[in-house]
Structure 1
Amino acid sequence: MKLEKEKIFKTLNPNKVWIPVLLGVSIVAFLFYQDDSVTVENLSLIFEAEIIPVALAFLVLFARDVGYVYRIRMITGKKLTWKSSIYVIILWEFASAVTPSVVGGTAVAVFILMKEGLKLGKALAYTMITAIFDNLYFVVMAPIVYLIASGHIFPQNSMIETQLGRSLPTLFIISYSLIAVYTFVMAFAVLVNPRWFRWILLKITSIKFLRRWRQGAYEQGSEIMMASKELRGRDFMYWLKISLSTIFIWTARYAMLNCVIEAFSNQSFFEHIVIFARHVVIWITMLVSPTPGSSGTAEFIFTQFFQEDLGSVTFITNIFWRLMTYYPYLFLGALVLPRWIARVFKKKK
């Protein structure tokens, strides 16, 4: 993970917000065009949304963001102030929004933490452990919701299956497997035996046609060892706080969609379970998206999952969902970035 300033600022570029915005708008326009159920009358339903569920959606989203700020402060052992923690979360979310989901904003997060006063080893450790715990939530929660809502998660017919020749369950299994393998490998490397992990990387890259990546493998292994060293000796309460805050953060994030859908259509308790389960599955599928912040991909997949059950309100809930969970962080990050740059580089003078 080379923390080259030019590359980082190339990612943290406010002008990049227009790429995912254009992708998202293009897909929304396509969905609007090809969906005969979307009419002016249906769009007017946005003004008939129930106030309490909408208010709950904003409250849950705010609680999630507070949870994010709390968790990063706890992960760093309160080395970050509350103000620094807020900056870190906003810019981390922004980096994730302007980079492909499959890549993520990890390198940028390390850079941000270092500029907030943390040394490289600690910044690497805290970024890696955050990513591991986030992925563990998906890995553990997905089988649970899959069993509870079994038979009700995946739609019978979807454009994805028609166009790609792959069913949604197949795409989900592929995504889940990749995330699970990556998560357990990283957890083992950081928390159990980083030295053995580096040795394996070097052995693999000693193969003739893989030698070009040997230097990168050595650097990656060394960074894992550095991060692991920083996390040794943490007590039970440290891990408990991270675990509970991670559960809270992601449960709140998924529950927000339940609130949005309830604002436009009354749902039973079991139907809310299914909505939550589908949101988990959608998010796991989005994690391997090649587009910035899953822009376009998210809107398209949402329609495939909910069109059959939500019908005429699918389009509205889709837009509401993305407007609340994605675009605010895109524009907020672009607004905060210049102030943060002036702040952290002024410290160095």
Structure 2
Amino acid sequence: MNNPKKITAKAPNEKEVFKTLNTNKIYIPVLIGLGVAIYFFLEKVDIPIFLEALGKSNWYWFLGALIMLLARDAGYIYRIRMISDDELSWKSSIYIILLWEFASAVTPSVVGGTAVAIFILNREGLSFGKSMAYVMMTALLDNFFFIVFSPLAIFVSNSFDFMVFPAISAGMFNEFVQKQGLKGAFYVSYGLTVIYASFFVYGLLINPRGFKWLLVKITSIKLLRRFREGAINTGNEMIIAAKTLRGSGISLWIKAIFLTFFIWIARYLMLNCLISAFTPLEAIDHLFVFARQIAMWIVMLLSPTPGSSGTAEAVFCLFYVEYLRSEFCAAVGILWRLFYYYPYLFVGALILPRWLIRVNKNRRNNEKKS
């Protein structure tokens, strides 16, 4: 009787990975972000009014924003260690998350840092199959948050007669067209997220071989034939990852789902804290700020720039000028980015050389033992 053909998948191309894991990569998003930030700061911010507002701000809320940021990172670190069944050490988990965030910060949101994340996990001692499985699992969990909470944001807006898609001044275009454009971007991004997650669920949890068959069939079309090799490799990756996760109990998934909700809620509450530092918010306002941030984040997923640089700064005041004075709203948007985005660029660039020395040393030691 013939043995079934062994399923194999190509590991991420090391050369391509290091094109992303490159300290020089920080210049592009920094230049884009700073360029937009400087423009908005000079054109949209009344500096004396902002400095006055900053002097009167409640600094306890800045501390709250920092705590939310640290809570979110702690959640990410704990989640990757929990998913690996403690195979990853705390030190490895910290390196993984910080470098993963760095990779995400230097790549467009639509691209993400999946290949880099697989490479990092693999270099931290996990097998290629486990590395793929855990990256795919976390991607599915993060998308699940958006799929669940985005309709809740719309529900909140409808229930309280609150516009989750903000009113926009007419300017060059008709206000209706501008508003529908923003709403349209949200629904396109949400729809793509649902489709992406549905493919993941089918391939990772239901029928990985059927998923591969579907990809091969699609790339059999003449126009798509050049993607066939990549489709076969992706299908093989899904089969390997699904096999690795097969033993994961339902309790692990439930814990991971709730932990994912905690991570993203902490991430969003950070902005609630920043806005509260300048403007006292009622409980219902906190709910509206949170709901609007989900809509803004979904729109930002379509950004073609690394880490949504420029896009995030540009759309911030569209969503939050109602809660912040127009004279310094853009400045708070820059502060928001300084909290949750730029630190990962610089921390990643600082720890990357140290991490490479560490993992290369571990590899040499393992080779000597074997």
Q: TM-score, normalised on structure 1?
A: 0.95
**1:316 offset after TM fit, Å?**
2.7
Please give the alpha-carbon distance, in whole angstroms, between the structure 2 residues aligned to 1:160 and 1:279. Answer: 24
Corresponding residue to 1:40 among 48, 54, 57: 48
Matching residue of 2:341 = 326
Deviates more, 1:249-258 or 1:26-35: 26-35
**1:220 offset after TM fit, Å?**
0.5
- Specify the SS of the correspondent of 2:183: helix
Please give the alpha-carbon distance, in whole angstroms, between the structure 2 residues aligned to 1:34 and 1:56. Answer: 30
Matching residue of 2:7 = none
Matching residue of 1:154 = 165
User: Does 1:234 find its partner at 2:244?
Assistant: no
Matching residue of 1:271 = 285
Matching residue of 1:294 = 308
User: Does 1:61 find its partner at 2:75?
Assistant: no
Contact 1:74 1:241 in 2 (8 A): no
Contact 1:135 1:183 in 2 (8 A): yes
**1:79 offset after TM fit, Å?**
0.9
* Letter of the 2:339 counterpart: M
Contact 2:272 2:290 in 1 (8 A): yes
Deviation digits for residues 128-168 of structure 1 (CA, Å, limit 9, x no counterpart): 00001001101100101211123321221158993995521
Corresponding residue to 1:27 among 23, 36, 40: 36
Please give the alpha-carbon distance, in whole angstroms, between the structure 2 residues aligned to 1:298 and 1:43. Answer: 23
**1:38 offset after TM fit, Å?**
2.5
Matching residue of 2:23 = 14
* Letter of the 1:41 counterpart: I
Please give the alpha-carbon distance, in whole angstroms, between the structure 2 residues aligned to 1:94 and 1:135. Answer: 19
Deviates more, 1:144-153 or 1:269-278: 144-153
Contact 2:65 2:273 in 1 (8 A): yes
Matches within 5 A, 1:240-251: 240-251=254-265
* Letter of the 2:262 counterpart: F
**1:210 offset after TM fit, Å?**
1.4
Please give the alpha-carbon distance, in whole angstroms, between the structure 2 residues aligned to 1:13 and 1:162. Answer: 41
Contact 1:160 1:167 in 2 (8 A): no
Please give the alpha-carbon distance, in whole angstroms, between the structure 2 residues aligned to 1:341 and 1:39. Answer: 43
Deviates more, 1:87-96 or 1:228-237: 228-237
Contact 2:11 2:128 in 1 (8 A): no
Corresponding residue to 2:332 among 293, 301, 317: 317
Corresponding residue to 1:72 among 69, 73, 80: 80
Please give the alpha-carbon distance, in whole angstroms, between the structure 2 residues aligned to 1:64 and 1:294. Answer: 19
Please give the alpha-carbon distance, in whole angstroms, between the structure 1 residues aligned to 2:166 and 2:46. Answer: 19
Matching residue of 1:5 = 14
Structure 2: unaligned runs, 5 residues or longer: 1-9, 365-370
- Specify the SS of the correspondent of 1:167: helix
Please give the alpha-carbon distance, in whole angstroms, between the structure 2 residues aligned to 1:158 and 1:137. Answer: 31
Deviation digits for residues 302-330 of structure 1 (CA, Å, limit 9, x no counterpart): 12111243223412321221111101111
* Letter of the 2:62 counterpart: V
Deviation digits for residues 63-120 of structure 1 (CA, Å, limit 9, x no counterpart): 1111110000011111100000000000000000001111000000000000000111
Matching residue of 1:114 = 122
Contact 2:275 2:323 in 1 (8 A): no
Please give the alpha-carbon distance, in whole angstroms, between the structure 1 residues aligned to 2:240 and 2:211. Answer: 13
Contact 1:264 1:313 in 2 (8 A): no
Matching residue of 2:367 = none
Deviates more, 1:255-264 or 1:283-292: 283-292
Matching residue of 1:132 = 140
Q: TM-score, normalised on structure 2?
A: 0.90
Please give the alpha-carbon distance, in whole angstroms, between the structure 2 residues aligned to 1:106 and 1:46. Answer: 39
Identity %: 48
Matching residue of 1:179 = 193
Relative to structure 1, the CA distance from residue 38 to residue 159 in structure 2 (aligned partners, 3 Å threshold; closer, same or farther) is farther
Deviating beyond 6 angstroms after TM superposition, the runs of 4 or more aligned structure 1 residues are none
Structure 1: unaligned runs, 5 residues or longer: none
Of structures 1 and 2, the larger Rg is shown by 2
Deviates more, 1:41-50 or 1:294-303: 41-50
Relative to structure 1, the CA distance from residue 339 to residue 216 in structure 2 (aligned partners, 3 Å threshold; closer, same or farther) is same
Matching residue of 2:355 = 340
Relative to structure 1, the CA distance from residue 334 to residue 327 in structure 2 (aligned partners, 3 Å threshold; closer, same or farther) is same
